[in-house]
Amino acid sequence: MSDALSVLLLAIAVVYALFAVLMLVPRRFAPATMRRMPKVSAIIASRNEEQVIEAALKRLRKSSYPKLEVIVVDSSTDTTRAIARRYADNVIISRGGGKAAALNNGVRAATGELLYFLDADTLVERHTIRSLVASLDETSGCVVSAGTVLPSSKAGIVSYIGRLQLALFNPLAAAAVRLAGSAMLPGKNFIIFRKTLVQAGGFRQGLTEDINLSVRLIRRGIHVSLADAPCREQVPYTLRSYLTQQQRWLYGGLSETGAALTGRFVLLVPLVLLVLLAPVLSLAYLTLAASGNDLAAAAFVLGFLIHLIAARQLGAGDCAMAPLTFLAYGILQACVLVIIALKWAFRIPVRWERTEKVRYRAK
C-alpha cells in the first residue's frame, strides 16, 4: 500500500473517530431566553399532499403556542386545498414558480413577527413552536433557530435507508454548531424573524432552497442556532423517490455549499462530505480490508459506528437493521453519484420533484 493511501485512510479514520465522539457528547441547544411571545406565522408550501396535510395541520392546531397563524400556499390538483381550508387561517393559491416562490408568497401574506416553516408532512410536537420561539434572542443576535427532524414512516428497506440518513443529520447539525458556531437550516421546523428573512432576500428557487438561504444568512454573519424542538416527517419508501430526492440533495447541496461557504464553515466541508459519503466509501474500505489493509478496516468500522450511533435515535428495530441498511445505503448512494455524473456529462438537468407520501394513520 502506498504511503499516500495510508495517510489518507488514517486521516479519514481520525475524522470518523472525532465525529463519533461529537455524537456521544450531549447536544448544545440554545438556552430559553425569549420572554415575550410574538405572533408566529406557520407557512406550508403544498402540492398534491392530500395524503398527509390533514395530520400535519391537526398537529399544528394542537400547538401550545398561543399566537399562531397558519398559512398554506397551494398549487394542488387534488383535494389538498379543500382540506387546508378546514384548518388554516389563510389558504393562498400558488400560480407556479416552484417552492421558493410559494414560500415567498406565504411570507408576504404573513402577519406574524416570526415565521415558522414546515412541510406538508411535518408532524410537530405540542411544544415544538414554543421551544423554538424561546430559543431566540434579538439582543445576542440569535434571530433564527432550527429544531430536530426525525422520520415518521417505516415501509420497507428503502425507508430504513432514508430513516438512517435523516437521523444522521441531527448530530451533523450539532457538530456544525460546536465547530463553526452555526448549523444549516433543515428546510422545515425552523423559525426566523420576518425582518431577518426579508433582509436576506427571502427564498430563491433552486434544488436546495434551504441550503441557499443558510449560506446567505451565514455570509451576513447570522448564525443558525439549535433548539430542543422535535418534529417528524416522512422519508422516501420507493426506490424511484429515494434516487430522485438524493440527486437533488447531493447535487444541490454540494453546489450551494462549495460555491459560497467561508470562514470557519469551510473546515466543516471535509467532515460533512466524509460523513455523508461514508456509506459509499465503505464499499472501497471493504475491498481494501479484504486484502489485509488494517487502516481500511478501521475506517469501515468507524464509518459504520457513526451510523449505528445515529440509529439509536430511531429505536431497537433500526439498530438491528443497521448493518444491512448501511451496506444498502452505500450501494444506492454510489448509484446516485453515477447518475449525477452521467447527467452532468450529458448536460441533463437535475430537477425538483416531490417525494411520494403514504397516508398517516388516523389518531
Report d(CA 28, CA 31) in Å as an integer.
Answer: 9
Q: What torsion, rounded to 10 degrees, do the Cα atoms 99, 263, 226, 273 define?
A: 70
Instruction: Give tens-digit pLDDT for 329-347.
Output: 999 999 999 999 999 999 9
Report d(CA 195, CA 127) in Å as an integer.
Answer: 24
Instruction: Give tens-digit pLDDT for 210-232.
Output: 989 988 998 888 989 999 999 99
- The band of 351, judged by pLDDT with boundaries at 50, 70 and 90, is confident
pLDDT at 321: 94
Instruction: Give tens-digit pLDDT for 12-46.
Output: 888 889 888 888 888 888 888 888 999 999 999 99
pLDDT at 16: 87
- The band of 79, judged by pLDDT with boundaries at 50, 70 and 90, is very high
Domain ranges within the chain, ordered by starting residue: 40-234
pLDDT at 340: 93
Most confidently modeled range among 138-142, 174-178, 240-244: 240-244
Superfamily of domain 40-234 in the CATH hierarchy:
Spore Coat Polysaccharide Biosynthesis Protein SpsA; Chain A (3.90.550.10)
- The band of 267, judged by pLDDT with boundaries at 50, 70 and 90, is low
**Statement: residue 363 has pLDDT above 60:** no
Which amino acid is residue 64, in one-letter code?
S
Other Cβ atoms less than 10 A from the Cβ of 144: the count is: 27
Instruction: Give tens-digit pLDDT for 143-196.
Output: 999 999 999 978 788 999 999 999 999 998 888 888 888 888 999 999 999 999
pLDDT at 309: 93
Helical segments of 62-127, H only: 80-85, 98-109
pLDDT at 261: 57
Look over the chain and give the mean of its residue pLDDT values, rounded to a whole number.
Answer: 90
Report d(CA 92, CA 135) in Å as an integer.
Answer: 30
pLDDT at 250: 85
